[in-house]
């Protein structure tokens, strides 16, 4: 569990930095690791989507593990319900952020080919980056609560 949670944090920071670079590249194109802005955007989108998918599966996996553990050990309590409540807090902003940034990634192609103004892409990307921070704050709180639920269930807390 800890490995995946720390991986989520590391990849979230990496995604944030890469998204910031992508935003800077929209104002003045420059290469990173000999990659054009379009190539770097594709790499950023892959890492970003992998990160968000990992976060989703982290909460799905821990929720399933809690349910199985409770059934095996015949533990009573609302631990599994609390895990579901966490998912309901995390998923809506996370999925909205994924939608905003995926649309921005796609619109880069339209802006790059001159089919739409670059300022629309920049505004959407900046909004996605700000919403990313908001979603990560919610995820951080959920990671903490997830840990407390597991520790409480295990009798450590």
Per-residue model confidence as pLDDT tens digits over 12-56: 999 999 999 999 999 998 888 888 999 999 999 999 999 999 999
Alpha-carbon span 153 to 69, nearest angstrom: 9
CB atoms within 10 A of CB 65: 13
Confidence of residue 157 (pLDDT cuts 50, 70, 90): low
Taking residues 129-142, what's their average pLDDT?
Answer: 96
Q: Distance between CA 55 and CA 64 in Å, rounded?
A: 14
Whole-number CA gyration radius for the chain = 19
Could you tell me how far CA 14 lies from the centroid of its own chain? 11
pLDDT tier for residue 116 given thresholds of 50, 70 and 90: very high
State the total domains in the chain.
1
Rounded average pLDDT over 1-5: 83
Q: Is the pLDDT of residue 62 over 70?
A: yes
Contact 87, 128 (CB under 8 A): no
Q: What is the pLDDT of residue 67?
A: 85
* Residues of the domain holding 110: 2-154
| Side-chain-side CA neighbours of residue 19 (13 Å) | 31
pTM: 0.89
Name the residue with higher pLDDT: 80 or 53: 53
């Amino acid at each position: 569990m800890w490995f995946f949670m720390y991986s989520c944090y590391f990849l979230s920071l990496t995604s944030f930095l890469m998204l910031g670079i992508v935003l800077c590249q929209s104002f003045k194109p420059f290469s990173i690791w000999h990659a054009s802005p379009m190539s770097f955007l594709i790499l950023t989108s892959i890492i970003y989507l992998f990160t968000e998918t990992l976060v989703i599966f982290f909460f799905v996996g821990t929720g399933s593990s809690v349910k199985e553990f409770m059934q095996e050990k015949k533990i009573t309590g609302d631990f599994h319900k609390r895990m579901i409540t966490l998912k309901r807090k995390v998923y809506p902003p996370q999925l909205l952020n994924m939608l905003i940034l995926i649309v921005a990634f796609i619109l880069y192609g339209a802006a790059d080919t001159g089919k739409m103004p670059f300022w629309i892409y920049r505004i959407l990307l900046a909004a996605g980056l700000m919403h990313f921070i908001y979603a990560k704050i919610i995820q951080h709180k959920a990671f903490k609560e997830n840990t407390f639920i597991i520790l409480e269930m295990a009798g450590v807390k």
